Structure 1
Amino acid sequence: MEPTHSPTNRGTAVTMPDVPSTVSGKRQRSDAGAASSEDLPDRKRACWGILTSQGSWADRSPLHEAASQGRLLALRTLLAQGYHANIITIDYVTPLHEACLSGHVSCIRALIRVGANVNAATIDGVTPLFNCSSSGSEASMEVLLQNGAHTHTTHTHLPSALHEACKRGHSVCVQLLLAYGADPDYSVSHLGSPLYLSCLHGHTSCTRLLLHTGARVNDGPAGGSPLLAAARHDSSEQVALLLEYGADVNLRDKDNHRAVELAPPGGKTEELLLAYDFSPRSLRQMCRLMIRDLIGRSRMKFLPQLPLPPLITQYLQYT
């Protein structure tokens, strides 16, 4: 059997050995054998797109199939017969990508145990960790992070795993990524920050985690901010959170609208923003924001070590 290779010459794929048909058969390159997008499970199809495409189904190996379907025994058999853990499709999709997208922890462990690259990237820049964020499998994500998966991306135009977790509202994944050092302020020009995406998609639990960590409250793409996004979608709970953490109500979108002008008339969101216009922050709140800003996000974890009364420490920590 010929080795799978990439026409872009980004690396050399591993040759696939012949495997008895009793274990698994290679997907045929025909219209009848290729799965169309309509035939794929809803979860997997929803994860696909310009940045999450899992490549051509026609050149997937039996190892890819076993990893995707969580068939641990078949996966171990294929590895024992000579299939390499880092075998790739034409789009540089590895079996580990497939296992992470489907959340099969046992297959992920088995692949890593035999040398699977936890930071392998497809031609679209998608990593196994990104796929864990898409699927929302915190157990899979923790295995990757414990085995050296990078929380950052080396491509400045691509969203990080944290962006993806915030977009989909997977708050446990967000918490894990932050605990392992993911940058809550990493911004992509056309998408903005993770906080902006969280507000754009209405995920209050993710917004709260990011703000508590010290994410910059006003970061967004050109002509946007988290508060503007939350107001536009009438998310009063997120608007209240953002205001408490110092969101600027005077920022305007590309059409020169403030948040109060974007909120649906007569709703709770508009009420909050109008009340803020007439009752600006208290001196106590302004002091809290200033102190947190001076301490900085990277040193926020040292707040409890300051010689301050517990009540003040809790106030500074929003606890």
Structure 2
Amino acid sequence: MRVQVDVRTIHGSTPLCHACAAGSIESVKLLVDHGASINPSLTALTASPLHEACIRGNPDCVQLMIDKGALLEAFDIYFGTPLHAACAKAHFDCALLLLNAGARVNATKFHETALHHVARAERVDLVELLVEFGGDVNITDNLGHKPRDYTKLESPASLCLLHYESNPLSLQQLCRIVLRTVLGTRALELIPKLDISQRIIDYLIYKVP
């Protein structure tokens, strides 16, 4: 008797969605090995397995889903993209994995970006991460609000965003962002093959010394 590995609950979630939400990497691997869909069709009530891993803050599951071809821009009605979900829940490791894999840092849901989410969460580390990957601190949502408008006055996150609004990124930072944007999801594959020094390669792939 063949098991229906992609059988759905009444709300449309698959076993892989639940395994990613639970952070059970062994269950995730087992389901994938038996043909579970990495990108099941989404409904008004469901999120993708990658979304679920990001919402719950399970970086091992996030990386495995990315490696298996999960759609980085899959759109969930409630959160938006997986990056939106990771940032709304303030999961730094998950956001970093998505960005390094080529997720669009300025993707919008109702004109709201991941920076708007981390501003609400008052997470300076995530603000800095998103800006390093090209996050636009001046972009406005459907209410005309910039990310800084969602921070507390004079809070560390507010001051951090104000700094980036007032001080442009360096030329080398801008060049890195442009190159990573052009290469997209193949950046980590192609950059190490460039005929340049290892130090520059490490910088381009955001490798911390």
Report the TM-score, using the length of structure 1 for normalisation: 0.62
In structure 2, the CA distance between the partners of 1:260 and 1:153, relative to structure 1 (3 Å rule), is same
What is the rounded CA distance, in whole Å, between the counterparts of 1:305 and 1:150 in structure 2?
31
Query: Is the alpha carbon distance of 1:273 and 1:299 closer, same or farther for their aligned partners in structure 2, counting shifts above 3 Å?
Result: closer
Q: Deviations over 1:107-153 (max 9, x none)?
A: xxxxxxx5312222234221110010221111110111122111102
Given residue 35 of structure 2, which amino acid in structure 1 is its aligned partner? G
Residue type of the alignment partner of 1:294: V
Q: What does residue 264 of structure 1 align with?
A: 152
Does 116-125 or 235-244 show the bigger shift? Answer: 116-125
Aligned to 1:119: 6
Q: What secondary structure does 1:140 align onto? A: helix
What is the CA-CA distance between 1:253 and the residue it aligns to? 2.3
Instruction: Please name the residue that 1:142 is paired with.
Output: 29
1:254 aligns with 2:142: yes
Q: What TM-score, normalized by structure 2, do the two folds share?
A: 0.92
Q: Aligned match of 2:71 in 173, 183, 195?
A: 183
User: Does the 8 Å contact 2:83/2:103 carry over to 1?
Assistant: yes
Match of 2:189 among 301, 313, 318: 301
State the one-letter code of the partner of 1:118: V
Deviation, structure 1 residue 156: 5.5
Q: Residue 253 of structure 1 aligns to which amino acid in structure 2?
A: D
**Structure number with higher relative contact order (C-alpha < 8 Å, ≥ 6 residues apart):** 2
Please give the per-residue CA displacement for 1:19-66, whole angstroms capped at 9, x wherever unaligned: xxxxxxxxxxxxxxxxxxxxxxxxxxxxxxxxxxxxxxxxxxxxxxxx
- Please name the residue that 2:172 is paired with: 284
Q: CA deviation at 1:231?
A: 0.3
What are the equivalent positions in structure 2 for 1:1-319 lying under 5 Å apart? 115-155=2-42, 157=44, 158-319=46-207
Q: Is 1:190–1:221's contact at 8 Å kept on the other side of the alignment?
A: no
What is the aligned partner in structure 2 of residue 98 from structure 1?
Answer: none
Q: Provide the C-alpha distance between the structure 2 equivalents of 1:146 and 1:303, rounded to a whole number of angstroms.
A: 30
Larger radius of gyration: 1
Aligned length: 206
How high is the sequence identity, in percent, across the aligned residues?
35
